[in-house]
Structure 1
Amino acid sequence: MATLGIFDGVHRGHQVVLGATVGEAEDAGWTSVAITFDPHPATVHRPDEHFELIASLTDRLERLAATGLDAVLVLEYTLDLARHTPEQFARRYLVDALRAGLVVVGEDVRFGWQNAGDQHTMVRLGHELGFGVRIVKDIECPDTGRRWSSTWVRELLAAGDVAGAANVLGRTHRVRGVVVHGAQRGRQLGYPTANLLADDLGVVPADGVYAGWLIRPAHAPDDGTSKRLPAAISVGTNPTFHGVERTVEAYALGRTDLDLYGEEVVVELVARLRPMVAFDGIPALLDQMADDVARTAELLGVPAPQRSDAARAATSPGAGAPAGAEGA
């Protein structure tokens, strides 16, 4: 039993097709396999264009596994692979490689050279090559009537609507990256952050401040606390301090003891609190950051931490701005 697609984000529409694949396989006593591709075809055909994935390959594979599939075949997408005709692709991978008895695809399936193959092509090839085909009709969002799609997810994230994106995805949107050294601004202000370079993370939502979660890997050093930490998350260039490099900065609420440099972490974005703005001075910035932290705690249902000594010192009368103080 097989299905195929890029499955970027593994959104609710993908989940219907994948669920049908798993269900058909279980009923027949067969193995369920999804074929997917890496890198994304857009990066191969249009290498000069900047293209970002909704989910990294690691997250895509985790989400595909969560649907109950028995296996995932990741094909390296190259120009040579792209030149396969629909018949060549079906024969090589669906028949010779997987010996598929049934292929489950959505109405929008495209495969083969220049996406020449569609659902009708798949049905014809099934007759010719000896496998059955099930076409899963597009499923629409009951509230809007719009079909679930990766394009819709991208639009919502571009608007900063991470809650809306989560509705389409069926889960909270996340980005994954390695924590890098920043300017140490947050640490001086009592809000140390895990800094990720936005260019390396895939689809990052619009600039702003978000409530969410900072997730450390299972193999991270055990400090006796959860590896899933509530976090206030800043996305942008720190306009208060005239920053130019776009980053994702996650402050784990109440934690000033974490040393995450070099760790690969996941940042989940639950809700947008406000847009990114520049503040007139450190006290105003810190007052807003304290409010962001309190609202984050309320939204996530966790206790709000007290201001750190560094934050209180920075807002005391006569306090100057720390060198490179962190902005939001």
Structure 2
Amino acid sequence: MHRWTDLRQVPADLGPSVVTIGNFDGVHRGHRSVLTRMVRSARALGGSAVAVTFHPHPAQVHRPGETPELITGLADRLDLLAATGLDAVLLIDYTLEFAQLLPEEFVRSYLVEGLQARTVVVGRDVRFGRDNAGDLATMIRLGEDHGFDVEVIEDIHGPQDASRRWSSTWVRELLAAGDVAGAADILGRPHRVRGTVVHGDARGRDLGYPTANLGQDMRGTVPADGVYAGWLRRPGLPDGLPDGYLPVAISIGTNPTFDEVQRRVEAYVLDRTDLDLYDEEVVLELVARLRPTVRFDTVEDLVTQMAKDVARARDLLAPGPLVLGASEAD
């Protein structure tokens, strides 16, 4: 998949394209349903399937400090978009200056002249241009003026709640409640948190469970405090090498037994004490919540519970990551 950050990078001979616009936070199953349909339409047209997205998220520019944490960081968002079969993503640097473009200016410069759009795929609630003045009616009118079709995508609902459409907001609510399994139903995969492994206080090693501690530069929404079963992926290793995908028990919280105040995300690789992951970027995929975070009266009680947590995680993860939905396929 081509990744363009400027219209000048788009090939002049791109040819006709099928284009959609969105933030695609989480790249959940609703997003992927739209994107895979786009890819099929582009193939039938003999053109390219292109998604237009933004970084940073527009809400972070217009309402800094008031926006929710993004479900996925930029690297994971682009990887997940690529997995849908798109030919290219145009990643627009979202600034207050860009936000001043009139709807007509945005469509003409980016969709018509820049990407040679033959079809533009949008939802009924699409908004674009200065002050979000452009809507579906605007897009249809501009399509008539500039010679592209507008395909309207209806809301996509999941089987677990037919009254509610799949959405990034719903995923955030589930993660805030610690329901990573429910979030995975909407995402179509385990939720991811990415970060660099840093040195901790080595308490886990002293207790017999050495952990990989993620630094405070983590990307991706950190779910509610608790203990989780999941997978640790090492994207820096070449595909096919051993130890690239490892089962883990993940602790999220402040370690109340030791009266700590800093919230941490740390992962114990099941039955392994020989790994050196320091300074390595890893991805944690959270499959199931085992229990909430609790304070134990003694360290011995904590260690006993940790052994139970590891045993549960081992049983849960035994089928392997593909069975549990780590595949990008729906």
- Common fold by TM > 0.5: yes
Q: CA RMSD in A?
A: 1.7
Q: Give the structure 2 partner of residue 150 of structure 1.
A: 168
Partner Cα distance (1:250, 1:7) in 2: 28
Q: Give the structure 2 partner of residue 123 of structure 1.
A: 140
TM-score of the pair, normalised by structure 2: 0.88
Q: Give the structure 1 partner of residue 210 of structure 2.
A: 192
Q: Give the structure 1 partner of residue 200 of structure 2.
A: 182
Deviation at 1:225, TM superposition (A): 2.8
Deviation at 1:220, TM superposition (A): 7.2
1:36-94 deviation line (CA, Å, top 9, x unaligned): 10111111111233541101111111111111101111001100111111111111100
Task: Please tell me the residue identity of whatever aligns with 1:194.
Answer: A
Say how many residue pairs are matched.
302
CA gap 1:302/1:240 in 2 versus in 1, 3 angstroms: farther
Deviation at 1:117, TM superposition (A): 1.6
Deviation at 1:188, TM superposition (A): 1.1
Partner Cα distance (1:61, 1:89) in 2: 22
TM-score of the pair, normalised by structure 1: 0.88
Structure 1 residue corresponding to 2:107, chosen from 81, 90, 112: 90
Unaligned runs of 5+ residues in structure 1 are 304-328
Structure 1 residue corresponding to 2:58, chosen from 19, 38, 41: 41
Structure 2 residue corresponding to 1:280, chosen from 297, 310, 325: 297
CA gap 1:221/1:17 in 2 versus in 1, 3 angstroms: closer
Q: Give the structure 1 partner of residue 20 of structure 2.
A: 3
Q: Give the structure 1 partner of residue 152 of structure 2.
A: 135
Which of structures 1 and 2 has the bigger CA Rg? 1
Contact 1:198 1:204 in 2 (8 A): no
Deviation at 1:199, TM superposition (A): 6.4
Q: Give the structure 1 partner of residue 318 of structure 2.
A: 301
Between stretches 85-94 and 106-115, larger displacement belongs to: 106-115
Secondary structure, counterpart of 1:209 in structure 2: strand
Q: Give the structure 2 partner of residue 317 of structure 1.
A: none
- Confirm whether residue 25 of structure 1 aligns to residue 45 of structure 2: no
Secondary structure, counterpart of 2:159 in structure 1: coil
Q: Which runs of 4+ in 1 moved over 4 A?
A: none
Deviation at 1:219, TM superposition (A): 3.0
Unaligned runs of 5+ residues in structure 2 are 1-17, 321-330
- Compare the two structures and name the one with the higher strand fraction: 2
Partner Cα distance (1:221, 1:2) in 2: 31
Structure 2 residue corresponding to 1:239, chosen from 256, 261, 268: 256
Partner Cα distance (2:83, 2:238) in 1: 23
